A and B are shown apart, each in its own frame.
Chain A
Amino acid sequence: MSSNPAPSGAPLRLEAVRKVYRSGDSEIVAVDHATLTVADGEIVALLGPSGSGKTTLLSIAGGLLTSTEGRVVVGGQDITDRSPRELTEFRRTTVGFVFQSVNLVPFLTAEENLLVVAELSGRSGMSRRDARQRAKELLDELGLGHRAGNLPSQLSGGERQRVAIGRALFNRPALVLFDEPTSALDTKIGEQVMELIQNEMRSRGTAAVIVTHDTRMTHYADRTVRIVDGVLSDDPVAAGHP
């Protein structure tokens, strides 16, 4: 079902990843020996209660956080031992991220929030013309063509989330990570956004991990993985349609 060849490996492979937060004398094991492989074009829902380690796991996969133990391979690149500088480049070029709270730069329009991705790549990125073209296409596709020139403060919550999805997809990442993309939206809009995510991922054959604590959202995924107290387990019950 995948249309993008990934000869160098699966979009995401976590091997026995462990993350321990140390604060003072106490240690919090946020993720405990998590092993997870996301196949090409696969959409995985990561379901778990608050504080179970979902964001931590996603951050490790996205190069925002380094694991205490284990190996992290994204799109064939082993990022386990990368320096902060190398991780910055990795985030810019290889993954897309939709965050739980703030996703847009307030002083940039919807279109500019997409273009900024190309801007961050500097000269190594695409030409200004190509970038504009791609931003326009993405916004049209997300049903935001007419909102391209609006600032985030002039957009609804659902529209903002759609711009964030466009931003995450802009650089054609191997993997897109969504951290509770619908938690700030009401059910109806939330479902629309999930449907959009599903369509966008499917049409591109892009793999995704979608964090949620809402079981109603899991049917948009190909597979659901549960996390409780940092420990992963497959969830046969909540598995969605392929």
Chain B
Amino acid sequence: MFLALTEMRRAKVRFGLLSGAVGLLVFLILFQQALSTGLINQFIGALRNQSADVLVFNAQARKNLEGSIVLPAQQAAVAQVPGVAEATPLGEGTFTVLAGVDGAAEEQDAVIFGYQLDGPGAPTTLVEGRLPEATGEAVASSRNADEGFGIGDTVTVVPNAGGAEVVFTVVGLAEEINYSVSPTLFTDFAGFEAAKRAVNPDATAVLPSVMAVRVADGADPEEVAAAITAAVEGTEALTRRQAVDGSPGVSAVRQSFSVVLLLFYLVVPLVTGLFFLIVTFQKAGALTLLRAIGSPAGLLVRSLLLQVVVVVLTGSVLAVGLFWLASRGGGGLDISVESGPVLFTVTLVLVLALLTSLAAVRRVLRIDPIAATTGAGVQVG
């Protein structure tokens, strides 16, 4: 205790720099994680934060909502599969809408989800207002509240020639329900159908993109999904989680981020491990002397590990501070400080740093106190 802390006090710059470096790296890890979560949420938040346990896609859509249509025969068949308590249509489409604040409405892209109001597929992260109760009402993604998607705002679907304008009034806001990084509305299926007809007046029937399934109490969504896929020709049923993970884009985002994260996770412990190995070499003389005057090896190892812990924790406090500043600073960066991932990251970094410090520990354990009598391998400090 005394040895470890006194040494750190006497070499403030050296240990301070290391803590700073660890802090920056941990900050980058946290930042990357938050960015990727934020980005993924902007891509598929709508899938993650809706209430259906299972989504049934057209098998040819290859898990892509945009390319999926469920035919009437399939719709009926899905409802018959054992374990399915409720199966209702869920439509998704990207539309050009007129939205904006203070009368300065402008044309922009928005995604509209249409679900059966009392069925599965409703947004689950309502933060303000209420869910839609009638055609023409919608819940909007809270991220876009200031861009003309706030409660009380109206969003108009711009029709193609021959189509009729469709207007939605925002009655509620839900968190992380964006899709394809666009402002997103959840409305009833009839509203979605009207929007589809506005841009495609000649359409004969508007088909749902997927079927939203609520599984029976106690049923395993994964098993039910497999059963649907097997039973209903031309469909691919996925649990909510599978649908999220399988979405095009998500796995690509995840993969590229995870490579970067992996590198950071490797660099932090390598830097600390190497630092402590060098420091241990540098003070070999002092360590040998301490062993010679009767210090148990364990005491020196504990001092070393204590220093690793102090450095990583100091760095982590710094990192969380920076992260907090970054999350408040905003600047369009969409990150939030969550204690779970932060704790996980810090613990993982600490464990890895302790592991790589074993090289230094090994060095300490190999010190032969007799070397104190010859001054072998010793630098006079």
Give chain A's interface residues, CB within 8 Å of chain B: 55, 58-59, 64-65, 85, 88-93, 97, 99-108, 112, 115-117, 119-120, 122, 151-153, 167, 179
Report the minimum CB–CB distance from A114 to chain B (whole Å). 11
11 pairs from A and B in contact (CB 8 Å cutoff): A55-B373, A59-B373, A64-B373, A88-B291, A92-B295, A97-B292, A100-B374, A107-B381, A108-B3, A116-B290, A120-B293
Q: Give the residue name and chain of the B residue nearest to A151 (CB).
A: B10
Taking a contact as CB atoms closer than 8 A, the residue among B286, B291, B297, B299 that contacts A106 in the complex is: B286
Query: By the criterion CB–CB under 8 Å, are A100 and B10 in contact?
Result: no
By the criterion CB–CB under 8 Å, are B286 and A105 in contact? yes
Q: Which of A112, A117, A153 contacts B293 (CB 8 A)?
A: A117
Per DSSP, chain A at the interface is helix
B378 touches A101 (CB 8 A): yes
Count of B residues near A, CB < 8 Å?
Answer: 29
Is the contact region of chain B dominated by helix, strand, or loop, or is it mixed? helix
- Per the bound structure, the CA–CA distance linking A107 and B294 in Å amounts to 18
Q: Which of B2, B294, B380 contacts A102 (CB 8 A)?
A: B380
- Is B7 part of the contact surface with A, judged by Cβ < 8 Å? yes
B6 on the A face (CB < 8 A): yes
- The verdict on B370 contacting chain A, using a C-beta distance below 8 Å, is yes
> Which B residue's beta carbon lies closest to that of A107?
B10
CA distance A122 to B288 in the complex (A): 19
On whether the beta carbons of B3 and A100 are closer than 8 Å, the reply is: no
In the assembled complex, the CB of A138 is this many whole angstroms from the nearest CB of chain B, namely 15
Are B2's CB and A119's CB within 8 A? yes
A92 touches B293 (CB 8 A): yes
Assess the B373–A99 pair: CB atoms within 8 A. yes
Question: Top 5 closest A-B pairs, CB basis?
Answer: A92-B294, A106-B381, A101-B375, A91-B294, A107-B10
Residues of A within 8 A of B11 (CB): 107
Q: Cβ of B296 < 8 Å from any Cβ of A?
A: yes
A102-B378, A119-B2 given; A88·B296 CB < 8 A = yes
Q: Are B10 and A103 in contact (CB under 8 A)?
A: no
> CA A132 – CA B378 in complex, angstroms?
29
Encoded as 1 (CB less than 8 Å from any A CB) or 0, chain B from 46 to 64 comes to 0000000000000000000
Q: A64-B373, A152-B381 are in contact. Are A99 and B289 (CB under 8 A)?
A: yes
